[in-house]
Amino acid sequence: MKLYTYFRSSAAYRVRIALNLKGISCEQVAVDLRSGAQRRPPYLAVNPQGLVPALEDGGAVFGQSLAILEYLEETHPEPALLPRASADRARVRSLALSIACDLHPLNNLRVLNYLRSVLGQDQSAVDTWYRHWITECFDSLEQEAKRYGSGRHLFGGQVTLADVCLVPQMFNARRFDCDLTSYPTLRAISGHLESLPEFARAAPGAQPDAG
């Protein structure tokens, strides 16, 4: 397998965590988002969506971290990152999607660049935008974490796809100096997960292209 990744990409960070949890060895190819490599022909030939991550396996290449996570879950079922019962699986997907579909796309690099360069917003306005969407998502996620989590996981007592999405999003929130004092449950869960070797090895600072 080959993963097209960038150290600070939270979507790629999700996939790195899942690969580590499932013990899958994978070649990593760095795509430098700072220089715009994701929008140049060599990478567009790999992934026409122009975003990282992309995963190559057995001649197939596809993007979208959630599709990749589901693929890994189907091809390498152990350890399972989705619970067994259908309602529990739906809950975990719902938690993961609230981050991956409702929050992350609003704060993506290309959106922030568009706010700055096309709509002429200054850094303070961009930061306000960023923090607003973090708050919108984390307010509800904190309540759901209390309701469905164990204090160490967003759902139940095992690592799930929801946790795989949470930790990179917490990293992003800290990077943008978001105030996380209102989210003690999310902070406790993330703190626990980040101490696990599979999460630690996937962290941005531990990647070869970090810098």
Ligand X SMILES: N[C@@H](CCC(=O)N[C@@H](CS)C(=O)NCC(=O)O)C(=O)O
10 binds ligand X (CB under 6 A): yes
Amino acid residing at 16: R
106 binds ligand X (CB under 6 A): no
- Residue 99: CB minimum distance to ligand X, A: 10
- Residue 66: CB minimum distance to ligand X, A: 6
134 binds ligand X (CB under 6 A): no
Smallest CA-to-CA distance from 12 within 58, 43, 45 is with 43
- Among 5, 9, 28, 47, the residue binding ligand X under the rule CB under 6 A is 9
CA separation, residue 107 to residues 41, 70, 100 (Å): 25, 23, 11
The residue among 19 and 100 lying less far from ligand X, judged by its C-beta, is 100
Residue found by looking up tokens 């993506």 in the block: 108
Per-residue tokens: 47: 């992934």
- Residue 85: CB minimum distance to ligand X, A: 25
Choose one: 46-54, 75-83, 125-133, 149-157; the region binding ligand X (CB under 6 A).
46-54
Q: Provide the mask over 65-104, with x wherever binding to ligand X is found by CB under 6 A and - wherever it is not.
A: xx---------------------------------x----
Q: Which residue number has the CB closest to ligand X? A: 110
Phi/psi of residue 149, each to 5°?
Answer: -95, 180
CB 63 within 8 A of CB 109: no
Q: What radius of gyration do the chain's Cα atoms show?
A: 17
- Among 108, 135, 158, 185, the residue binding ligand X under the rule CB under 6 A is 108
Contacts of 88 (CB under 8 A, 6+ apart): 155, 156
Contacts of 142 (CB under 8 A, 6+ apart): 182, 183, 184, 185, 186
Residues in contact with ligand X by CB under 6 A are: 9-11, 33, 38, 51-53, 63-66, 100, 108-110
